[in-house]
Amino acid sequence: MRKVSILLILVVVLATVITGCSGARNRPLGWSGVTVSGNNLYFGTHSGTLFSLNKDTGTVQWQLSLEGAQGVYGAPLVSGDTIYVTTYGGRVFAVNTSGVLKWTSPTTQESKSPDAIISGLAYSNGNLYYGSTDKNVYALNAETGQQVWKFATGDKIWASPVVDNGIVYIGSFDNSFYALSADDGHQIWKFDAAGVFNASPVISGNNLIVGSLDRNIYALDINNGQVVWRFEGQKWFWADAIVVGNNVYAPNTDGKVYVLNASTGDQVASLDLGSSIASSPALAADQVVVSTETGKVSTIATSSNQQKQISDLQTTVRAPITADGDIVYLHSQTNETIYALNAVAGTALWQYRVQ
């Protein structure tokens, strides 16, 4: 009965996303996380526009329509004076911080209909890394956008990669999680689970911690991919976990945030936020800030694991939360609005609705 229930939820959610992705009119809004750099924050919209806002006031600095983008799902990545962003139209764009396009990969001449990209980007040592719905992991030269290598997995990829110490870590819809050489893309190790990997991993000591849609969150030995521990929730671990000290804060679509010992996987606490959580949390002012899909925003004090609801946005939130000091930024789906909240006082600072 439990497997049937999980499968039904998977079908409904994937159908919602796929239906949304198939046409602009029905496409869910506000999937992209926001990225803070200097005095600005950057995010992409469902229509494929890259925005720059003043992070203190929410006023628009500039906006750039990305040709053929058909939506932005991953958070933009900023390195130096360049913003990199993936698009549902299947291309990666490099834009300078004044909003001027630098390059597109592949170019419209190279490919007329590239596969969609849901994944965000990672940067390391002059290269960009991302996964694609064409089942491949790609490395691009960050200066030119030229492909450095690609690696084939067994199914589409939605998860964003993490690069650490010369290794690219990324999960796939083929139920496998991969460690690849950042230099040439050769496989170092692979871990097979019973469900899809949609979340990005977090590294804690010698462990790599990542959730799966098989209801487990895994701690894998970063050297060989062997399971150190696993913890089973009631539903999916869709969102990224966050590690603070020796505690893992792992949101689940069962509506709970599980607090686990990062070394052993033992449960420290279980906090019920009341409805499904797909948005990845952030750390602000020693508090883990997390939002339910219904827009109820709560803080969890890392010193005591006490939970406190600080806001109710009354809108759908699935995009990851971004923290900058004690300020957090959220991107809603139903009204495509960026909210800036003080995570300590719970006060709303400003909001900007995409026109």
Rounded Cα–Cα distance for residues 294 and 277 (Å):
9
| Residue 7 confidence (pLDDT) | 39
Of all residues in the chain, the percent with pLDDT exceeding 70 is: 90
Tokens of residue 296, six digits: 């109820």
Q: Which single residue is written with the structure tokens 């019920």?
A: 272
Q: What is the pLDDT of residues 33-71, one digit of tens each?
A: 999 999 999 999 999 999 999 999 999 999 999 988 889
92 CB-near residues (< 8 Å, 6+ apart): 84, 85, 86, 104, 105, 117, 121, 128, 130, 140, 145
- The per-residue pLDDT of the chain, averaged, comes to 91
Contact 177, 190 (CB under 8 A): yes
Low-confidence ranges of the chain (pLDDT < 70): 1-30, 111-113
Degrees (nearest 5) of the Cα angle 320, 326, 332? 30
Degrees (nearest 5) of the Cα angle 228, 199, 48? 165
| Residue 107 confidence (pLDDT) | 78
